[in-house]
Amino acid sequence: MDAEDKLKELEKEINALKDTVVKFEKNAPENKLAMVVFSGDLDKALAAFIIATGAVAMGMEVVMFFTFWGVPLLRKKEGTSKGKDFFGKMFGAMLPKGASKAKLSKLDMGGMGTQMMKHLMKKKNVASLDDMVSLAAELEVKIYICEMSMDLMGFSRSEIIDYPDLGFSGVAKFLEEAGTSKAQMFI
């Protein structure tokens, strides 16, 4: 093999290597956190928002997907039953209207525990869930709401809070985001 052939061989190998690097780069996870918020409990939602805002502080992009009981956390305080069927009205009345109405997953004791916890949070300077939602908005945390949950519970889009970066999606959007994220969570 003369020098020219060797050079050609080498060039081929380098090109193959370049292709591999491009492939790896394409598949490398982004510095992003994808989170499912399934729970509508005050404590769990608080944890979700603390992690989400903390992640932004750590330099990560954050995408939250609200599904099932998590969806009512993003309702406006003043609900509406306009144009809803029986089940929609029932869900609308029984599920919390927004983050400020969420209850503890444990020790709620008919609402007393939640009130006590809120009092304690204020005393210890822990931000309320409402404040955390505002902070997430300010920090450009993206939110997607599960379209199927909206439909199932009979929520209309006009019932959802005004949030700067909010969209509606299905599972594929979440999986796309989760697949390109380096951290995924289900809360």
Partner 1 sequence: MGDEIKTVKSLDLTGLACPMPIVKVSKAIREVNQGEVLEALTSDSGALADFPAWARTSGNEILKTEAEGENTRFFIKKN
Counting contacts by CB under 8 A, is residue 116 touching partner 1?
Answer: no
Counting contacts by CB under 8 A, is residue 135 touching partner 1?
Answer: yes
Rounded CA separation 91/158 (Å): 16
In the bound complex, what is the minimum distance in angstroms from residue 29's beta carbon to partner 1?
15
CB 65 within 8 A of CB 36: yes
Using the contact rule CB under 8 A, the part of the chain among 16-24, 48-56, 103-111, 159-167 near partner 1 is: 48-56
CA atoms within 13 A on the CB side of 34: 16
**Helix and strand numbers, DSSP H then E, in the chain:** 7, 5
Counting contacts by CB under 8 A, is residue 94 touching partner 1?
Answer: no
Q: How many CB atoms lie within 10 A of CB 110?
A: 8
Counting contacts by CB under 8 A, is residue 126 touching partner 1?
Answer: yes
In the bound complex, what is the minimum distance in angstroms from residue 159's beta carbon to partner 1?
29
Edge-first strand order for the sheet with 166-169 is: 166-169, 142-146, 61-66, 30-37, 181-186
In the bound complex, what is the minimum distance in angstroms from residue 7's beta carbon to partner 1?
40
Site for partner 1 in 51-70 (CB under 8 A): 53-54, 56-59
Counting contacts by CB under 8 A, is residue 170 touching partner 1?
Answer: no
Given the rule CB under 8 A, which residues bind partner 1?
50, 53-54, 56-59, 124-127, 135, 139
